[in-house]
Amino acid sequence: MKATPWQRLGAALYDRVLAEGERRTMSRLREEVLSSARGDVLEVGAGTGLNLGHYPTGLRRLVLTEPVSPMADRLRRRADDHAAVEVVQAAAEQLPFENASFDTVVSTLVLCTVHNVEASLSEVARVLKPGGRLLFIEHVRAADETLARRQARWAGAWSAFAMGCRCDRDTLGSIRAQFDVGEHSTAAWHGMPSIVRPLVLGVAVPSRELRHGSWDHHVSQHLSQHAAATLQA
């Protein structure tokens, strides 16, 4: 599908729009959550590749998908600086991979924008290997009623501005509908508008596959460190 002028402009400005939020909050969260990625890794909705500098070494494979062509072009340019990274233009709702292909799937600031959250999460579950994990950082509908009402009022305007991003989605609820959510925490996305400030981050496995092994403990340690850092921020 041909990109719209707004998509081309959005891709060009994306990193600058997020720059303050990256500096104050998101870069640290990416580092903490992505440090637990292992094996064959798929990132859905990779955007311009802001996660790339935060993946641990020693991954067997790293595949990044992005559906919007101007974003995918920028993603490829950034990926050129990283060895053995594969970029695939594809939507989260229709991942072009075999069943049980990945040990880890990463979703950061993606489920707010996909056209169909349920289909996207079904695809994530499909491509995960038995015992595979979803690592996520997503902005969500606020627990605070006043802020939630503000999100509802501004959801349409924000979506038009931010290339389809919805600030009022109950994303954690959607994840829980198909996954067992293990260790997770909340955070505030400082440096960004209040309607996208509430964040949730954590680890999940397709339902009925939750295990309490050393890998989950490793994630738990990082999330505990994050919670302490957030309280100090």
Q: How confident is the model at residue 31 (pLDDT cuts 50, 70, 90)?
A: very high
pLDDT greater than 60 at residue 99 = yes
Q: How confident is the model at residue 1 (pLDDT cuts 50, 70, 90)?
A: low
The torsion angles phi and psi of 14, rounded to 5 degrees, stand at -55, -55
Least confident of 78-82, 88-92, 142-146, 156-160: 78-82
Least confident of 31-35, 77-81, 154-158: 77-81
**58: burial class by Cβ within 10 Å (0-12, 13-18, 19+)?**
exposed
pLDDT greater than 70 at residue 233 = no
Q: How confident is the model at residue 15 (pLDDT cuts 50, 70, 90)?
A: very high
pLDDT greater than 60 at residue 212 = no
Confidence (pLDDT) at 225? 52
Confidence (pLDDT) at 5? 93
Q: What is the domain partition of the chain in residue ranges? A: 5-232
Q: How confident is the model at residue 199 (pLDDT cuts 50, 70, 90)?
A: very high
Report the share of the chain in percent with pLDDT over 90: 85
pLDDT greater than 50 at residue 133 = yes
CATH superfamily, domain 5-232, is Vaccinia Virus protein VP39 (3.40.50.150)
pTM above 0.85, yes or no: yes
Tokens of 132: 């595979």
Confidence (pLDDT) at 231? 41
Does residue 162 sit in helix, strand or coil?
coil
In this structure, how many other beta carbons lie within 10 angstroms of the beta carbon of residue 139? 26
Region of residue 186 (left: phi > 0; alpha: psi -120 to 50; beta: else): beta
Q: How confident is the model at residue 213 (pLDDT cuts 50, 70, 90)?
A: very low
Tokens of 31: 């580092």
Per-residue pLDDT tens digits for 107-127: 999 999 999 999 999 999 999
**In the predicted model, what is the mean pLDDT of residues 147-165?**
97
Q: How confident is the model at residue 83 (pLDDT cuts 50, 70, 90)?
A: confident
Distance between start and end Cα atoms, the chain = 42
Does residue 229 sit in helix, strand or coil?
helix
**In the predicted model, what is the mean pLDDT of residues 179-206?**
97
Q: Which residue has the tokens 């009402």?
A: 149
